[in-house]
Amino acid sequence: MAVALIGAAGLGVVSILDRGDGECGATLPVTVAADPTLAPVLTELAGTYTGTEPRQGDRCVEIDVAASTAAAAVPTFGGEEAPDLWIPKTRAFGPAVDEGLIEPLANVALSPLVVAMPQEAAAAIAGDTAQISWAALVQGEGAAVIADPAATDEGLASLVAVRTVLGDQIERDQLVEVMTRVSQAAVPTVDDALAATAEAPAAVTATEQSVVAYNRDPSGPRLTALYPAEGTFGFDYPAFAVTGAEDDSDARAAAAAFVEHLETDEAQETLRRAGFRSPDGTAAADAGIVDGIRAELPELLPAPDPELIAELSRQWAALALDMRMLAVIDVSGSMNEQVNGGATRIELTRDAALEALQLFPPDASVGLWAFSIEQDPPNDYIELVDVGPMNERLLNGSTRQEALVIASESLPSRAEGGTGLYDTALAAFQSMRGSYQAGMVNSVVLLTDGRNEDDPDGIDLETLLTTLTAQFDPAEPVPIITIGMGPEADMEALQQISAATGTTAYHAEDPSDIQSVFIQAMIERQCRPNC
């Protein structure tokens, strides 16, 4: 029998074809959807495997390896385009899969999540330990870059690792602050992240194997893998037989046989040479000498809670959305009340607003109103800064962000008069509704420490709710996210106002909590509506 090896660029097709000598009745194609990090070496292994002339019955087995992310592969399961074999980077951080469509076979490789840095920078931070803490990574002054958690397992695993390890040390608002800061430097792929740290030294989260692969390019600076001291996640490359539109038992058996080949000593040595570890954590014999990693397997964290993954994914999605927000701050006389060692409510609110401005991306559209019945009679509110991109230059030459800082700092000097809550809420809603911009999350965040005091000149609560309900358009939603501050806030009214626009109200019973509550409200800007 003549043997022809055919390689298709990008597909890794390797086959044994019958040349008419009668030894091979037909070919049996076995399609493999493999994570892009594994696909190149898997194609090499497929070639080695076909050299052993594998057969299923009288058919010669043909292995077709395609690089595919889990997000691209999973939707095909059960259909005509389903692969026979699926090897993702991991199941832990990927999309949900119908368990009836896959059968676990074996884990074929392992690669832990590491922190990659240029060699000199890594030595300055870790010395000879090759370790770094997650806390140092997220709370340090140095730059940190991650691949987009919405598109990469490495990025999402990084967020989950921080929350898992620092859960008792970092508050939710602190984590959101970290996520916001990191989101402004996030890049689409791990390759982009590695390239970024080579150009401007930064800490990058990536798989250990990607560090090995990067260091094999002599044109770039060498990277060093640092291992989180608290533990890290391992990408375990599980192999699954997949059910397609037609369940081909021969193809399933051939796929299982190929996986058995991947478990052989020879195949495992090939995987280790490519920078992967064996499933038991064994690295290549020369690991740590030439490739920037260490031979010892780091401590691995247990599989993460799916609910935690869902929560962090939602938060990241919120931070990634284009934002258009009008902040409406109560400056009535009661905001002058001193709390917590002498600071007033309005001073705490000012500080929270200034902190939040540091979290918004530069192109976020933000505006600021202040309200009390003494602000701009007969109106109960005054526009301090119109809504627009924070990095936009205004007529006076300053940026809108600079104007927002100045306006926020002025809030304590404005605190006087009663609370014109209902008229202000309606005016803010109608202003954002009238200037609605598609493709952005248009919202109002309103903070108050009291209840409406504009009777009988202003509208009542029933009129406000009726109007909001009538004018609210689910196709162009403008949620009013309300925040009550202190024990006198009319939370019942605030809940009804927010509910009328498909969202919710927050209560900072302790005024010192206003910063964390304000950040939580910021997260909720993703509502479209009905969070």
Residue 523's pLDDT band (cuts 50, 70, 90): low
How do residues 118-137 score in pLDDT, each as one tens digit? 888 888 888 778 899 888 87
Tell me the C-alpha distance between 361 and 365, whole Å.
9
Considering only residues 268 and 50, tell me which one the structure prediction assigns the higher pLDDT: 268
Dihedral angle computed from the Cα positions of residues 160, 162, 166 and 172, in that order, rounded to the nearest 10 degrees: -70
For the stretch 225-260, pLDDT in tens is 999 999 999 999 999 999 998 888 999 999 999 999
Q: Identify the H or E element spanning 402.
A: helix 400-409
For tokens 């690669």, the residue is 111
pTM for this entry? 0.73
Task: List Cβ<8 Å contacts ≥24 apart for 383-391.
Answer: 384/410, 387/324, 387/325, 387/326, 387/432, 387/435, 389/362, 389/363, 389/364, 389/365, 390/357, 390/360, 390/362, 390/363, 390/364, 390/365, 390/366, 391/362, 391/363
| Residue 3: predicted pLDDT | 35
Which single residue is written with the structure tokens 């109002």? 444
CB 365 within 8 A of CB 388: yes
The answer to whether the CB of 145 falls within 8 A of the CB of 193 is yes
Q: Measuring CA to CA, which residue among 414, 407, 415, 494 is closest to residue 450?
A: 494
| Residue 399 pLDDT > 90 | yes
Could you tell me the CA-to-CA distances from 470 to 257, 282, 441 in Å, in that order?
64, 65, 20
Q: Mean of the pLDDT values across residues 411-435?
A: 96
Cβ neighbours around 259 below 10 Å, total: 19
**pLDDT tens for each residue of 57-85:** 889 999 999 999 999 999 999 999 999 99
Helix (H, G, I), strand (E, B) or coil at 77: coil
pLDDT at 331 over 80: yes
Judged by DSSP in three states, 25 sits in: coil
Q: E strand or H helix at 75, and its extent? A: none
Give the pairing type, strands 323-330 and 441-448: parallel
